[in-house]
């Protein structure tokens, strides 16, 4: 449209000039020494315009010819960038699709030509990790760092993530320690450290890290509480490796009071008490805890503990029947305690009631043991068979 308007304007101007020149073409005399040139003004104007246009296009041609190599280089660079972008996009899609080898090839093909080589190398490292090509993974991480030295935190975070997923705990610990020096307040670094301590069962370090996790709000309050619970459970479980029961009690005293009533903590402590032959303390702990809160796992363990007085232990457990008369775990526990008191009929009634509410493999096994004591081998074998079948079905 603009070209049409311009052509129309030029045509109008040319027509106007032609009409003027037709009535009076004018006269031009050019003299230089003995040399003279006479012509009309119209022809002079035409020659000047044509000369100007010729000179303009000649200069433009020379300038374009001079700039041609630079323009070619710019065009080639733009094309390479376009290819690099396309390869990066294609590689990232293939990475998400699980086509690890194709993704790696596309990601590194134009890595050096891309606008952000860092992204190419980091994604290629993830693709190599999925193929268990750990040497190539580490090489891509090195190239990523060399391509963008200022992105040390980003590269190291990726390295730590990949090391953690491959369970290279020692290497991941070294990487994360260096990262914490570089970025001590970085939330994701703290979160990866938390995961690493859990993976390594390094409960002491996890407990040391928890205040920082809470302060930086890296995890929610509920998650922090869960991690704290897990750490103290892990410490109590680690006491099984100590022959000295005092170590177990020392750990228990370290558990915050607000956690000592938690069923998971009590259960772990009770198991370790049994493992150290502290049956009396275990029975008292379970009984006191169950007075305050009901928990089937604690009830189950209570039936396995050898209390100081089997009759009193049975009487305590029977008190719970008032609130939970049809609880299969309680009935199993009562059956075990009654059998320990050699109350064969009562034990059989409790165990059969438990099976009637919810059959369990271990309940059938207890019935088999009981009926052997009662000199009923055929019935005992039948219960053993049922218990074995149920256990196999649950495998």
Question: Which pLDDT tens digit goes with each residue over 303-343?
Answer: 999 989 999 999 999 999 999 999 999 999 999 999 999 99
Backbone torsions φ then ψ of 167, nearest 5 degrees: 60, 35
Cβ contacts of residue 237 below 8 Å, gap of 6+?
268, 272
What confidence tier does 32 reach under pLDDT thresholds 50, 70, 90?
A: low
Across 33-42, 238-247, 332-341, the highest mean pLDDT is recorded for 332-341
pLDDT at 20 over 60: no
pLDDT at 37 over 90: no
What confidence tier does 269 reach under pLDDT thresholds 50, 70, 90?
A: very high
pLDDT at 91 over 70: yes
What confidence tier does 110 reach under pLDDT thresholds 50, 70, 90?
A: confident
- HEC readout, the chain: CHHHHHHHHHHHHHHHHHHHHHHCCCCEEEEECCEEEEECHHHHHHHHHHHHHHHHHHHHHHHHHHHHHHHHHHHHHHHHHHHHHHHHHHHHHHHHHCCHHHHHHHHHHCHHHCCCHHHHHHHHHHHHHHCCCHHHHHHHHHHHHHHCHHHHHHHHHHHHHHHHHCCCHHHHHHHHHHHHHHCCCCHHHHHHHHHHHHHCCCHHHHHHHHHHHHHCCCCCHHHHHHHHHHHHHHHHHHHHHCCCHHHHHHHHHHCCHHHHCCHHHHHHHHHHHHHCCCHHHHHHHHHHHHHHCCCHHHHHHHCCCCCCCHHHHHHHHHHHHHCCCCCHHHHHHHHHHHHHCCCHHHHHHHHHHHHHHCCCHHHHHHHHHHHHHCCCHHHHHHHHHHHHHHHHHCC
What confidence tier does 93 reach under pLDDT thresholds 50, 70, 90?
A: very high
Q: Is the dihedral of CA 278, 281, 287, 293 positive or negative?
A: negative
Cβ contacts of residue 25 below 8 Å, gap of 6+?
40, 41, 42
Query: pLDDT tens digit string along 177-206?
Result: 999 998 888 999 999 999 999 999 999 999
pLDDT at 311: 95
pLDDT at 278: 93
pLDDT at 137: 93
Q: For residues 369-391, b (16+ Cβ closer than 10 Å) or e, as one string?
A: bbbeeeeeeeebeebbebbeebe
pLDDT at 315: 95
Backbone torsions φ then ψ of 39, nearest 5 degrees: -160, 175
Q: How does the average pLDDT of the chain come out, rounded?
A: 86
pLDDT at 29 over 80: no
pLDDT at 45: 67
**C-alpha separations of 304 from 21, 103, 328 in Å:** 125, 56, 15
Mean pLDDT of 269-273: 94
Cβ contacts of residue 161 below 8 Å, gap of 6+?
192
Query: Cα(332)–Cα(305) distance, rounded to whole angstroms?
Result: 13
Mean pLDDT of 371-383: 89
Angle between helix axes 328-340 and 310-319 (nearest 10 degrees) is: 160
pLDDT at 349 over 90: yes
Mean pLDDT of 344-370: 93
pLDDT at 231: 96
pLDDT at 3: 59
What confidence tier does 363 reach under pLDDT thresholds 50, 70, 90?
A: very high
By mean pLDDT, which of 16-30, 38-52, 58-72, 142-156 is the weakest?
Answer: 16-30
What confidence tier does 74 reach under pLDDT thresholds 50, 70, 90?
A: low
Mean pLDDT of 38-54: 67
CA nearest to 261, candidates 252, 273, 249, 248: 252
Across 26-40, 103-117, 211-225, the highest mean pLDDT is recorded for 211-225
pLDDT at 33 over 90: no
pLDDT at 253: 94
Rounded to two decimals, what is the model's pTM?
0.71
CA nearest to 303, candidates 281, 326, 335, 277: 335
Percent of the chain having pLDDT more than 70? 82
pLDDT at 230: 94
């Amino acid at each position: 449209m603009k070209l049409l308007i311009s052509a129309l304007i030029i045509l109008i101007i040319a027509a106007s000039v032609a009409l003027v020149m037709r009535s009076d073409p004018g006269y031009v005399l050019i003299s230089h020494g003995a040399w003279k040139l006479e012509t009309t003004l119209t022809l002079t104007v035409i020659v000047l315009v044509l000369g100007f246009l010729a000179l303009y296009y000649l200069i433009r041609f020379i300038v374009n010819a001079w700039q041609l190599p630079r323009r070619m280089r710019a065009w080639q660079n733009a094309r390479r960038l376009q290819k690099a972008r396309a390869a990066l996009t294609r590689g990232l899609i293939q990475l998400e699709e699980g086509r690890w080898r194709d993704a790696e090839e596309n990601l590194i093909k134009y890595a050096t030509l891309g606008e952000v080589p860092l992204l190419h190398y980091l994604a290629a490292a993830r693709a190599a990790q999925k193929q268990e090509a750990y040497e190539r993974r580490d090489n891509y991480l090195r190239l990523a760092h060399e391509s963008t030295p200022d992105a040390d935190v980003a590269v190291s975070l990726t390295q730590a993530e990949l090391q953690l997923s491959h369970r290279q705990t020692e290497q991941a610990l070294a990487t994360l320690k260096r990262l914490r020096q570089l970025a001590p307040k970085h939330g994701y670094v703290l979160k990866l450290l938390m995961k690493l301590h859990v993976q390594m069962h390094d409960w002491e370090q996890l407990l040391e890290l928890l205040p920082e996790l809470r302060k930086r709000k890296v995890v929610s309050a509920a998650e922090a509480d869960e991690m704290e619970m897990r750490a103290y459970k892990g410490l109590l479980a680690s006491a099984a490796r100590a022959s000295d029961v005092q170590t177990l009690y020392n750990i228990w005293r370290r558990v915050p009071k607000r956690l000592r009533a938690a069923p998971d903590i009590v259960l772990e402590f009770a198991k370790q008490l049994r493992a150290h032959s502290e049956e009396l303390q275990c029975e008292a702990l379970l009984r006191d805890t169950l007075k305050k809160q009901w928990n089937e796992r604690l009830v189950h363990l209570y039936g396995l503990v050898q209390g100081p007085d089997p009759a009193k232990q049975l009487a305590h457990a029977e008190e719970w029947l008032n609130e939970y008369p049809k609880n299969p775990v309680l009935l199993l526990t009562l059956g075990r305690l009654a059998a320990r008191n050699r109350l064969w009929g009562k034990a059989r009634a409790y165990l059969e009631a438990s099976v009637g509410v919810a059959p369990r493999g271990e309940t059938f096994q207890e019935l088999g043991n009981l009926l052997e004591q009662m000199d009923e081998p055929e019935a005992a074998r039948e219960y053993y068979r049922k218990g074995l079948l149920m256990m196999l079905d649950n495998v």
